[in-house]
A and B are shown apart, each in its own frame.
Chain A
């Protein structure tokens, strides 16, 4: 009996796995699959600026998460593309566009982007920005009640501000830029990065660094005091602060970053995806709604003034935060150097 059951289970899973291989590909009429990083942020984005569009147009939205570059490659290479709109990091957006793995933006999207005052530096032939955030100095307000670091040089000063420091275990996560600024490099001379110098500077506090992988870990590390000082995504920290955690953002020398949204090459409903992009770029109110829901800054500067005044100075893209910013992460540099620096970083970090 039990053998029969087991055999049945095996056969059933085989059928399922075969179905999974054969399925996908052709998207049904009027559906759009949206893929983001998942979690609360994806829910906020979809609720703010995907669902309202879908209701207007009658398009059925499917969701998947998280973004996975290997899956985009696999879909494009096999010609069975089931992902329509995908949120990506700009260095990937650039190299994948250059490799022909993404659909090129049509003229109507370019026009809409221009009208929305989108920073051309945040776009490429295949991608528009979808949100902004900034790498801030996040600190525990109990640990650093009186004085907290306001520059990256102070962030690296373990004598004046003892305790562990958190960095994102990821080469485009801002650690190299912060290290160079801390070492006295002028913001305008950051790129191309002097990697030797950056690694030397990081080496000086290597034993005090805690490397995190996720946004949840950021909040956990700072709020618990485990690492009272971290280089953080500002939105995560403001939301944790709003939830009553003892954490705060310092925007001195913040490093602005952004995510893009792209359409994988060969997606059947690519036109629908571009329709959405046009709507998104024009609809600055939806972008402002997302700022409230997600804590991320809007793609269009026009959306900033629609954001409620009480949170406006705490979002990437706002004048208050931009004025203090040291630089925008140069993703063209990272598209070029990502693989090489990743291998070097992996070696260094495990030593």
Chain B
């Protein structure tokens, strides 16, 4: 994957002076088009940056000034356990989602237009349905007396119902189902732009079809994979409804604990500290990932 990226990294070797000048001018000049971004920036400032600052501040000031809230997270086993569980679930969900989404997105690129429309519809219809509704529907499907277990039992495949609801399996099942469009759509968007003649060229130069796929198509599709990965993973970290409905107490995710701190024991500062830890850990993980995957380049689609 890195091999295909290096050429662009090495590219600016020729007339760099002029280009750097242009880039500099581009960075400093500000015409009226820039105003278009203003409403969104102000909006973000009001509804995101300011509350975030307030959140961070209250994590070290409420109820007392200092790091007590953070100390509590690291001294009581439940919070670390739930944090570890949150990341385990998010990573599992991301892995399963990507494994399911990649072949699906690939199929969409090679399908005929009519099939492609159908495949897109299949992905989009659940996307338009409320998460709450879908999670409740999954409860009916997964519970011990639910559709899956009833069918399996009446078919004689199992004697006792297999616990699916209130297990990790149930949570992953539900979350993957919700995350799929967020992985399939960016992957498809990237794969669609890949020039398939490159694969023919690779074969023309003697590579086997599978070799051409792995050495040409897969690396070129990586920006879409990276986008899907990040969208899925970050979303999965914050899931609240799905694990609450489909998981058991042992599958509690950090979002549930945060809500509990805010709405039942009214410890805003501590809830804020939990949120900051979640945010911080996410940044660290993304930083590590980007070391290996060069995320920025991939997301900007400059490969």
Contacts and interface: CB of A to CB of B under 8 A. Distances in A.
A17 B143 contact: no
Interface in B142-181: 143-145, 166
A158 interface: no
A70 to B, nearest CB: 5
A10 B39 contact: yes
Interface in B235-259: 244, 248-250, 252, 257
Contact of B145 (A18, A226, A346, A347): A226
A17 B46 contact: yes
B260 to A, nearest CB: 7
Contact of B78 (A6, A68, A347): A347
Interface string B70-90: 000000111001100100000
B122 interface: no
B43 A14 contact: yes
B2 to A, nearest CB: 35
B249 A169 contact: yes
Contacts of B3: none
A145 to B, nearest CB: 17
A70 B263 contact: yes
A17 B47 contact: yes
A346 B78 contact: yes
B201 interface: no
Looking at A17, A73, A226, which has the most chain B CB atoms within 10 Å of its CB? Answer: A226
A342 B257 CA distance: 11
- What's the dominant secondary structure at chain B's contact region? helix
A204 interface: no
B172 to A, nearest CB: 18
Interface residues of A, number: 34
Contacts of A18: 46
Contacts of A69: 263-264, 266
A92 to B, nearest CB: 9
A219 to B, nearest CB: 13
Nearest to A95: B266
Contacts of A147: none
A349 interface: yes
Contacts of A350: 78, 81-82, 85, 249-250, 252
A64 interface: no
A349 B249 contact: yes
B145 A7 contact: no
A213 B81 CA distance: 22
A25 interface: no
A224 interface: yes
Contacts of A14: 39, 42-43, 46-47
A227 B169 CA distance: 20
B145 A342 contact: no
Contact of A213 (B39, B47, B244, B257): B244
B125 interface: no
A218 to B, nearest CB: 14
Interface string A1-36: 001101110110110011000000000000000000
A7 B36 contact: yes
A64 B112 CA distance: 52
B144 to A, nearest CB: 6
Nearest to B251: A350
A309 B103 CA distance: 65
B250 to A, nearest CB: 6
Interface in A329-351: 338-339, 342-343, 346-347, 349-351
Q: Which of A10, A69, A213, A349 has the most CB of B within 10 A?
A: A10
B265 to A, nearest CB: 5
A19 B201 CA distance: 60
Nearest to B41: A10
A252 interface: no
Contact of A7 (B40, B76, B244): B40
A210 interface: yes
Nearest to B264: A342
A347 B76 contact: yes
B62 to A, nearest CB: 12
Interface string A177-211: 00000000000000000000000000000000011
10 contacts: A10-B40, A14-B46, A169-B249, A211-B249, A220-B139, A226-B144, A342-B265, A347-B77, A350-B249, A351-B78
Interface of B: 36, 38-40, 42-43, 46-47, 76-78, 81-82, 85, 139, 143-145, 166, 244, 248-250, 252, 257, 260, 262-268
Given A11-B39, A69-B266, A338-B265, 5 more contacts: A14-B39, A18-B46, A70-B266, A342-B265, A350-B82
Nearest 10 pairs of A and B residues by beta carbon:
A347-B78, A349-B249, A10-B39, A7-B39, A10-B43, A11-B39, A14-B43, A224-B145, A10-B40, A339-B265
